[in-house]
């Protein structure tokens, strides 16, 4: 079992060194050092959470709240740092899905969703 743990850790370290994950780490670092980009994402998250809470409790979402949410999304899309992180996250997710699907094929064990670990 110790060998399995070490092999798994080595594999994880290898994955983290791929260009996809290196870009994600660099983009995240840039985001964490940029107060404006962090504030944009925080504002967006708060607006999304407000609307989600309203919907979950059966309360109406006003047109103003919908417009504010759309404006927050637009602000996020206009910020190059935010978009770099989103693109890097999506690319890393694609790599992770590919790895999980290849593991499923190699082992013959279907992971969650039947088509690999990630859908």
Asked if 36 contacts 1 with a C-beta cutoff of 8 angstroms, the reply is no
Tens of pLDDT, residues 42-74 = 999 999 999 999 999 999 999 999 999 999 999
Which are the contacts of 82, defined by CB distance < 8 A and separation ≥ 6? 31, 37, 40, 41, 76
Element housing 59 (H / E)? none
Provide the pLDDT for residue 116. 45
Residues 105 and 107: their CA atoms lie apart, in Å, by: 6
Q: What average pLDDT does the structure give for the chain?
A: 92
Residues 91 and 53: their CA atoms lie apart, in Å, by: 30
Position 39 in a domain: yes
Number of domains in the chain: 1
Band (77; pLDDT cuts 50, 70, 90):
very high
pTM summary value: 0.81
Position 80 in a domain: yes
Position 19 in a domain: no
Tens of pLDDT, residues 6-21 = 988 999 999 999 999 9
Position 47 in a domain: yes
Residue 103 belongs to domain spanning: 27-107
Position 48 in a domain: yes
């Amino acid at each position: 079992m110790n060998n399995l743990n070490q092999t798994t850790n080595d594999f994880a370290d290898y994955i983290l060194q791929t260009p996809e994950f290196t870009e994600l780490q660099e983009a995240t670092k840039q985001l964490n050092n940029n107060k404006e980009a962090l504030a944009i994402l925080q504002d967006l998250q708060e607006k999304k959470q407000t609307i989600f809470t309203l919907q979950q409790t059966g309360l109406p979402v006003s047109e103003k709240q919908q417009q504010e949410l759309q404006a927050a999304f637009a602000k996020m899309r206009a910020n190059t740092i935010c978009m770099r992180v989103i693109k890097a996250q999506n690319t890393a997710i694609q790599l992770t899905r590919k790895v999980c699907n290849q593991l499923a094929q190699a082992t013959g064990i279907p992971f969650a969703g039947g088509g690999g670990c990630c859908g």
